[in-house]
A and B are shown apart, each in its own frame.
Chain A
Amino acid sequence: MKANGPWLRFAFVVACCVVVMLPLWWAAASALRPSEEVFRYLSPISVWTLIPREWTLSNFAALSQGPFAQAMINSALVTTLTVVIGLVVCSTAAFALAVLEYPGRGVIFAIMVVSFLIPFDSIAVPLSELFRGLQLQNSYAGLILPGIGNGLAVFMLRQFFMAIPKELSEAAKIDGLGWGGIFLRIYLPLSRPALIGAGLILFVFQWQAYLWPLLIAPNPDYHVASVAIASFAGQYDVDYGQMFGGAVVTALLPMAILLVFQRYFIASMASSGSKE
């Protein structure tokens, strides 16, 4: 490469990062200024476009009083339960597909992977009809259930379980441990990185969900954050300060979690080469 090559490369990378981060920065700045000033410092563009001239937490204070607070609680509850229940469902399935031996294992694995390859959103409309028939609309169960079985998480955990030496479970069996004990006391403790990766997949799926909660939980009491945000935009008299405040809160929490567990997320993406 020519002498200016690395600089060109560096400039391109930095420029892309700036383009990606600017909207988030602007949203955060807008959330921290009085609502009526959101559009004030746009033309001409100045530093005040990106830095609030007058700082305030009033938007967040207002959010914590309104329906958005309930939506955040719903999101946190639904996502936490999805991750916990989803890890149980996915890890037991992965254990049965990786460690236990029985005829037809390959077929069951194929069925499971292929069915999970049907993109969830594409069947959300018929599924929501089914759920309404089961009286699951406007309920936490209705919001949580679709997130718990995730083909990518099963696949990833299975890969990890298969790499654990069989000698360990054979030795444990001789010592009188059953399959349940082997799963709980040998496989799970050894699989923390894979469990974190799978948990992140379940978390991101549920936190991002928009179409499904819109279909199954139209009652504002059961709105999740991603839907509550959109309902701001639908109001006649939009409070932009609050809207940006909500957007920042809804974006920051998963970003913080992703920052902490980033390497597990990248590892899970790289190893599976597959995405839900």
Chain B
Amino acid sequence: MSSVGQGQNGSRWGEALRSGSLGTALLFLAPALVAVVVLRIWPAGLALWQSLHEPGAAPGFTNLGFGNYTYLLSDPVFIESLTTTFLFLIIVNPVQIGLALLLALAMDKALPAAGLWRTLMLLPVAVPQSVSAIILGVAFRPDGPVNALLATIGIPPQGFMTSTSQALMTIIMIVSWVGVGYWMTFLLAGLRDIPPILYEAAEIDGANGWQRFWHVTLPQLRRTLTFVLVANTVANFLVFAPVQILTKGGPQGSTNLIMNEIYTRGFLSGDMSGAAAATVILVALVIVVVGIQFRMMTERAKS
């Protein structure tokens, strides 16, 4: 691209057209571009348009307005699903990432049969969420094996998914069964990338194990941890299969996470515009939460 003279930009376009590389590129790009437009941009736009233009269950809806949103935000069921989702995220993210980090640290140093343990922890990734929900759902039944196990160590039977206070925790245990091994794999890769010389230097400076973790491992792992935190948050925002299969949001709305709320609203109550508005709120929340997490993680780096 070393054309001399005026109109650098114009000559680039001209050259691209003359050599046919633009046409070739479009040909190569076309299927993916169509997929992006039809499968992501169009439905996202559709949800926004529909939420603003079509009356659903919202009373007194005018042609263009926020009727669906004001209706949704004054509906206690929707508000409760939002608070449940946030409660869920506040518990599930630290639990999964904390356990994954502990495991990654434990596996980072030499262990007998290290590859075997890493593989075993990763295997549940392959299991569809509906399948793990089915298996663990039966395991957590009041008459299931988990209570039988608790009985042998003298703990009285628990309600698990039938109890309003335990159902959300049970869903958390079910999604963590897959999540911990998955995020561990990323964190382990991140730990392997830390130059050993940093640890050697810290050791010469007399740092103990905890100080090495705090001053070397954590800062060096920041990029990986940021990614894991963000990706895990997004994944947990969208948890659906265990809820829909096992609790349908109950008992008494205690597990009604936002994806289940959108599904119930759109397909069981037939309020597609309300579901569209809820979808827009969900996407906005994901963007905001992810933005805040990025901010926090990069600011911590500066200080």
Q: Which residues of A are interface residues toward B (Cβ below 8 A)?
A: 1, 6, 9-10, 12-14, 16-17, 20-21, 23-24, 26-27, 39, 42-45, 49, 88-90, 92-93, 95-97, 100-103, 105, 108, 111-112, 115-116, 118-123, 125-127, 129-130, 145-146, 148-149, 154, 179, 183, 204, 207-211, 214-215, 225-227, 229-230, 232-233, 240, 243-244, 247, 250-251, 254-255, 257-259, 262, 266, 269-270, 273-275
Contacts and interface: CB of A to CB of B under 8 A. Distances in A.
A130 B124 contact: no
Interface centre among B145, B189, B263, B276 (most CB of A within 10 A): B145
B96 to A, nearest CB: 13
Interface in B218-268: 223-224, 227, 231, 234-235, 237-238, 240-241, 244-246, 259, 262-263, 266-267
Given A12-B106, A118-B283, A262 B122 contact: yes
A111 B132 CA distance: 35
Contact of B231 (A251, A266, A275): A275
A88 to B, nearest CB: 7
A251 B131 contact: yes
Contacts of A125: 47, 262-263, 266-267, 272, 275-276, 279
A43 B148 contact: yes
Contact of A270 (B117, B189, B282): B189
Given A27-B135, A45-B149, A17 B120 contact: yes
Given A17-B121, A102-B25, A266-B189, A123 B43 contact: yes
Contacts of B29: 92-93, 96-97, 108
Contacts of A121: 238, 240, 259
A216 B181 CA distance: 31
B295 interface: no
Contacts of A88: 31
5 contacts: A43-B151, A204-B125, A230-B133, A251-B126, A273-B223
B177 A23 contact: yes
A122 B145 contact: no
Contact of A208 (B39, B128, B134): B128
B2 to A, nearest CB: 13
Interface in B156-212: 177, 180-181, 185-186, 189, 209
Interface in B1-26: 1, 9, 12-13, 16, 21-22, 24-25
Contacts of A90: 32
B31 A92 contact: yes
Contacts of A250: 127-128, 131
B149 to A, nearest CB: 6
A149 B125 CA distance: 21
Interface string B41-80: 1111011001000000000000000000000000000000
A44 B177 CA distance: 25
Contact of B145 (A42, A129, A154, A244): A42
